[in-house]
Amino acid sequence: MYVIREVLNCGPGKVRPLLERFRSLSRALEARGVPPLRLLTDVSGEPFWTLVAEATVERVDDFFAVEEELMADPEVRGAMAGYHDLIARGRREIYRLEG
């Protein structure tokens, strides 16, 4: 089992619009029978204005297969349109769940 996190740092006032896009993405996952994303926002920390989208998958390849399927869906692409404009920087973290 793997935990995959997208850690996205935004500019001031950009976290909520980004969160709404990721909520739409999470609903699209649920509609496909995939567990929803776990969405976290920072309360305080360095850097400020951070959104974490966390997924749990059996195999890393499963994550990329679902990601490809979602991005092929015009409704999902529309919901995510312009999200890059909200992000200052980001990274992907992949962890093997050990216990």
pLDDT at 5: 97
The pTM assigned to this predicted structure is: 0.90
For the chain, what is the mean pLDDT? Answer: 93
pLDDT at 7 exceeding the cut of 90: yes
Q: Are 16 and 4 in contact (CB under 8 A)?
A: no
Rounded (to 5) percent helix, strand, coil in the chain: 40, 30, 30
Structural domains in the chain, CATH included, are: 2-96 (3.30.70.100)
Q: Are 96 and 4 in contact (CB under 8 A)?
A: no
pLDDT at 26: 94
Q: What angle do CA 62, 87, 13 make, to 5 degrees?
A: 125
Pairing verdict, β 87-96 and 50-57 = unpaired
* Model confidence pLDDT, tens digit, residues 40-78: 999 987 788 999 999 999 999 999 999 999 889 998 999
